[in-house]
Amino acid sequence: MARVRFPMKQCVSFNGRVGKLSARALRMAIGVAALSVLGVLVRPAHAQNDALSAVVNENAPTAAQAPAPNGAPLTLTLADAISRAQKNSPDFQRALAAVKIAHGNQVQARAAMLPSVGDLTQYLNTQGNGISPVGRFVTNDGVHVYNEYAVVHQEMPAGFFQDLGPKKARYEKAVADAGAQLAKRSLVVTVTQDYYELLVAQRAYATAQQSLSSAQRFLKISQELEQGGELAHQGVIRFELQVSQAQRDLGDAQLAMSEARSNLAVLLFPTFNEDFTIVDDLDTPPVLPSFKQAEAMATDHNPQVAAALASYNSARVDVASARSDFLPSFSIDFDYGIQANHFALESVNTTDLVKGPDGRPPVQQNLGYFVTYSMTLPVWDWGARISKLHQAEEQRDSAKLDFLFAQRRAISLLHSYYDESQIAWDQLGNLRHAVDLAQQNLQLVTLQYQAGEAAVLDVLDAETVLASVRDSYATGEARYRDALANLQTITGSF
C-alpha cells in the first residue's frame, strides 16, 4: 500500500511560496501523480492481499539454504507446519515418551497381579566325614544333592485384593495422556501464532515496498515540476523526506519478517532452514461454533480437568495403599521338580534297611512338589506407616483442591477464550466493511479531486486511511486465528 503523507503546515508554506502559480493548478499537477497508484489502492481486499503475497514471494529475502530437490522452496500450510513441529518439538516428544512409560508401568502393574514362573537348578556338594553317607552338614541329606524346580510364586500384599497396583498405573496413564494433549495443544498455539505472525509480517513488508515505490514516484514527479518552475524546492525536500522515511519503514518491515521467519523455522525443522514459504489463508477464516457447542466439547475434551481428576484419583489410591500397609500380606510358592542325591527321576536309597522281595533296596520316585504358604503381619515400625498414611492423605486433599480449581479455571478460560474469539470474529466483519468504505471513500475523493472540488490532502488522507484499515484487517485476521487456537486448548479441535 502506497502511503503518502503531506503535513498541513508544510503544505500551507508550500502553497504560499508558489507565487503566481494557482493552488488549483498545483493540486492538479500533483494529483496526476496520485492517480497513478489509484488502481493499486482501490482494488478489493482479497486482490490486494494476493498482490502483496506475490511481491513477498518474489522479493522477500531469505537465508542461504540448500535448494529443494526440485529447485523450489518447500510450501507449507498451517497443518503441515503443526505436523512438522510435533516431530521436532522436545516438549511434545517428551510428553509422548511419558505416555509410553506410563503404558509400560500399566503392563508391569497388571503382571504383578499374576503368578510368576521360574526355574531353579542347584547342585550341593557336601564334604564327607568318612562315616555317614550324608556328609558333614546336617542340613543336607547326602554328599551330592540335586535341586531342579519349576517355581510358581505369587505375592499378595494387602493392596493385592483391592487391585491397587493396576488402578494406580491406570490413573498415571490418564495423567500422561492428558499431559500429551496439553503439550500438543500448547504447541498448536505456538505454531499458529508464529505462522500468522509471519504472514502479517510478509504483508507489512509488501506494503512497505509499495509505499517506497510510491514515494519515489512522487519524488520524481516533484523534481520534474521543480525543473519546469512549477514547484518550489520545499516540495522536493518534502518528498525526499518521505522517501527516506519509506526506506526506513521497509528496513524495519524486512527485519520483522526475517525474525518471524526465523522463529517459525526453529519450530519446523530438525536443522535450521529458512528455505520455505507458507500458504496465506488469512482471508478464509474458520467459522466460530456456538457457545453451547464449545461448552459441550470443553466438557468432554478438556485435558486440564482430565489430568487433575486422574491425579486426584491416583492420590486416593495412594491413601488406600498406605492403609493396606497395616494389614497382613501373603505369598504362595509352588515348587515342582526333584531334590535328590542323584540327578534322575528315580533313585535307590542304599541307606534304607527295608529290602524289597528281590532283596534289593526299593526304587523311590524323585519327582514331586511342595507348597509354601507365608503370612507377614506388621507389628511395629516406629510410626513409619502412620506417617506415610498422613502424607498420602495430605496429598489427596491437595489433589482434590487442584481438581476443583481446574474445573473453575476451565470454565473461566472457556468464557474468556470464547469471548475473545467472538469479539475477534465480529471485528473481522467490521474491518472488512471498513476496507470497503475506505475504498469507496478514495474513489469519491478522487472524483471530487478531478472535478476540482477536493484538495490533494483529501486524496492523500483517503490513501492513508485505506492503508491503515488494510493493515488492521490483516492484524485482525491473525488475532482471530490466535484466539481460536487458545479456545481449542479447552475444547479440542473443531
Q: Give the total number of structural domains in the chain.
A: 2
Are both 47 and 151 inside the same structural domain?
no
Q: Which of 326, 353, 377 is the last residue of a domain?
A: 377
Cell of 269: 525443522
**What's the domain range around 143?**
115-162+336-377
Task: Write out the H or E segment, with its range, that includes residue 175.
Answer: helix 164-227
CA–CA separation, 78 vs 85, rounded Å? 10
Note the Cα 105 to chain centre separation in Å: 25
Instruction: Choose among 37, 94, 165, 156: nearest CA to 442.
Output: 37
Check: CB of residue 14 under 8 Å from CB of residue 232.
yes
Q: What is the pLDDT of residue 466?
A: 77
Are both 14 and 127 inside the same structural domain?
no
Task: Write out the H or E segment, with its range, that includes residue 453.
Answer: none
262: CB partners within 8 A, 6+ apart = 274
Are both 422 and 465 inside the same structural domain?
yes
Q: What is the pLDDT confidence band of residue 166, given thresholds at 50, 70 and 90?
A: very high
Q: What is the pLDDT confidence band of residue 78, given thresholds at 50, 70 and 90?
A: very high
Are both 350 and 464 inside the same structural domain?
no
The verdict on residue 420 lying in a domain is: yes
CA–CA separation, 489 vs 494, rounded Å? 11
Are both 256 and 355 inside the same structural domain?
no
The verdict on residue 386 lying in a domain is: no
**pLDDT tens sequence across 274-307:** 999 999 999 888 999 999 999 999 988 899 999 9
Q: Is the pLDDT of residue 456 over 70?
A: no
The verdict on residue 93 lying in a domain is: yes
Q: Which of 61-65, 103-107, 226-230, 407-411 has the lowest mean pLDDT?
A: 61-65
Q: Which of 377, 408, 429 is the last residue of a domain?
A: 377
Q: Which of 183-192, 301-310, 445-454 has the lowest mean pLDDT?
A: 445-454
Q: What is the pLDDT of residue 326?
A: 93
Q: What is the pLDDT confidence band of residue 388, given thresholds at 50, 70 and 90?
A: very high
Q: What is the pLDDT of residue 61?
A: 40
**pLDDT tens sequence across 192-245:** 999 999 999 998 898 788 778 777 876 777 787 778 776 677 767 877 887 888
Query: Which domain CATH number covers 203?
Result: 1.20.1600.10
309: CB partners within 8 A, 6+ apart = 174, 403, 406
Task: Write out the H or E segment, with its range, that includes residue 344.
Answer: none
Q: What is the pLDDT of residue 242?
A: 74
CA–CA separation, 284 vs 477, rounded Å? 9
| Most confident by average pLDDT, 58-62, 65-69, 168-172, 432-436 | 168-172
Average pLDDT over residues 176-197: 95
CA–CA separation, 390 vs 382, rounded Å? 14
Check: CB of residue 153 under 8 Å from CB of residue 115.
yes
Are both 123 and 271 inside the same structural domain?
no
CA–CA separation, 451 vs 445, rounded Å? 10
| Most confident by average pLDDT, 209-218, 327-336, 362-371 | 327-336
Q: What is the pLDDT of residue 31?
A: 45
CA–CA separation, 2 vs 405, rounded Å? 52
65 vs 494, higher pLDDT: 494
Q: What is the pLDDT of residue 106?
A: 94
Are both 287 and 430 inside the same structural domain?
yes
Give the count of alpha carbons within 13 A of 352, CB side only. Answer: 12
Q: Where are the beta strands (DSSP E) in 367-433?
A: 367-376
